[in-house]
Amino acid sequence: MFTGIVDSMGVVREVSGSKDRRFVIESDYDPDNIALGASIAHAGACLTVVEVSSTTTGASFVVEVSPETLDRTTLGDWVVGSRINLERSLKMGDELGGHLVTGHVDGLGEVVLREDQGDWLKLGIRAPSEFSKFIAEKGSIAVEGVSLTVNGVNNDVFDLMIIPHTAKVTTLGGLQIGARVNLEVDLMARYAARLMQAES
């Protein structure tokens, strides 16, 4: 489990494979704190560390991605130099600063609006129509692994206001119109919708 609070920005250093991929990610993590088999959220997708080594600035680690994940997330778009939001998994007793995030991407959204308002950033994202019922004004959603509050909803498009800090320390500040983003709907909203369906 994760919280949607990004704790490092990773950079793709190597890409290999075609149908499935092997990525070498460089980060400022302490390599002594990354165990083989550790789960780390990459742009909202939970991946398993299969190799780890030290660098002059932190850690370099390897993750392997299946064709299914490449097809259903933005990970298939990664190239050398791509920046990635990273978050290590929760430990018992950790502060829950965002909302509960599983690291399982529900679908892809598309940025349809970008408005720079001084240091603040307003984004409009079109979600797949089947997920609209899970997205509510003032509810939570994870976008590229970042826990955010929905400002408003208009049919399949939801609005976000990104504070300057989040725009700076995540990839959200660089999003442009037409960009695809990983979405994970709020777990509570999913269970509430399922409960309502079961009772009807």
How far from 78 is each of 5, 83, 98, CA to CA, in Å?
A: 21, 9, 26
Q: What does each C-alpha distance from 102 to 27, 98, 110, 152, 199 come to in angstroms?
A: 22, 12, 21, 23, 26
Q: Which residues contact 88 (CB under 8 A, 6 or more apart)?
A: 7, 29, 34, 38, 39, 40, 41
H or E element that contains 188: helix 187-199
Rounded Cα gap, residues 74 and 133, in angstroms? 22
CATH numeric code, 107-199: 2.40.30.20
Closest CA to 5 of 88, 93, 83: 88
Which pLDDT value is given to residue 190? 66
Nearest to 110 by CA among 181, 40, 56: 181
Residue 93 binned pLDDT confidence (cut-offs 50, 70, 90): low
DSSP 105: -
User: Class assignment of domain 8-88?
Assistant: mainly beta
- How confident is the model over 2-24, as pLDDT tens digits? 999 999 999 999 999 988 999 99
Asked if 8-88 and 107-199 have one fold, the answer is: yes
Return the structure tokens found at 149: 């509050």
End-to-end Cα separation, the chain, in angstroms: 31
Q: Which sequence spans correspond to the domains of the chain?
A: 8-88, 107-199
Per-residue pLDDT of 25-69, as tens digits, reads 999 999 999 999 999 999 999 999 999 999 999 999 999 999 999
